[in-house]
Amino acid sequence: MRFFALTSVLAVASCALAQEAARYGAVTINGDNTVSAGQTFSVTYNSTVARYTPNTVDFLLQGTLPNGKRSAYVVLARNDFSADQEVLQQDLTMPDVTTALGSDITNWLLISEITYNYDDYTPPVVMSGGTTAPINIV
Ligand SMILES: *[C@@H]1O[C@H](CO)[C@@H](O)[C@H](O)[C@H]1NC(C)=O
């Protein structure tokens, strides 16, 4: 009985986490997530599960510096996103971030950063948030 109670608590907790992760939609790298400078790779942003309707979707990169802090963002692409749109597939070309920013940056993430209007205010209250996928830059 105790076991079942614990299981259901865990199930509820992981469900809440999944919903939290999906708040800004989902981003996936199509195919191999190991990418080198100059290589073109395909990404898909999917807003179907997002709580908000994005106005814009930017694809960014961010890594971790040797001191543990997050690196600056590298902007790969900026896109408008229409209200009736659900999916944005885009081919991106990897810039030489290792030479530009340092080969000691690790744990790179591909981020889909959205902007959206919070409720229906005039002037609008524009919010921003992102969802990530690990990307291995070699
Ligand atoms: C978008 O996400 C929804 C919900 O997870 C899924 O049903 C749909 O197949 C996805 N679309 C694409 C193109 O990946």
In a domain, 58, yes or no: yes
**Residue 17: inside a domain, yes or no?**
no
**Domain with 50 in it: what CATH number?**
2.60.40.1930
The reply to whether ligand 1 has any atom less than 6 angstroms from the CB of 22 is: no
Domain annotation covers residue 78? yes
All residue ranges of the chain with pLDDT < 70 are: 1-21
- Name the domain count of the chain: 1
- pLDDT at position 123 is 97
Other C-beta atoms lying within 10 Å of the C-beta of residue 18: 10
According to the model, what pLDDT value does residue 3 have?
44
Range of the domain at 84: 24-137
Average pLDDT, the chain: 89
Instruction: Give residue 97 CA to ligand 1 midpoint distance, Å.
Output: 30
Looking at the domain assignment, is residue 125 inside a domain? yes
Q: What is the pLDDT of residue 22?
A: 82
* Sheet order of strands, 56-64 included: 74-80, 56-64, 106-117, 126-134
19 located within any domain: no
Q: What angle do CA 92, 83, 85 make, to 5 degrees?
A: 45
pLDDT for 36 equals: 97
Q: Which of 7, 23, 36, 10 is nearest to 96 (CA)?
A: 36
* Domain assignment present for 65: yes
pLDDT score, position 138:
94
> Which one of 19, 46, 112 would you pick to mutate in the ligand 1 pocket, going by the greatest count of ligand atoms within 8 A of its CB?
46
Q: What is the pLDDT of residue 21?
A: 57
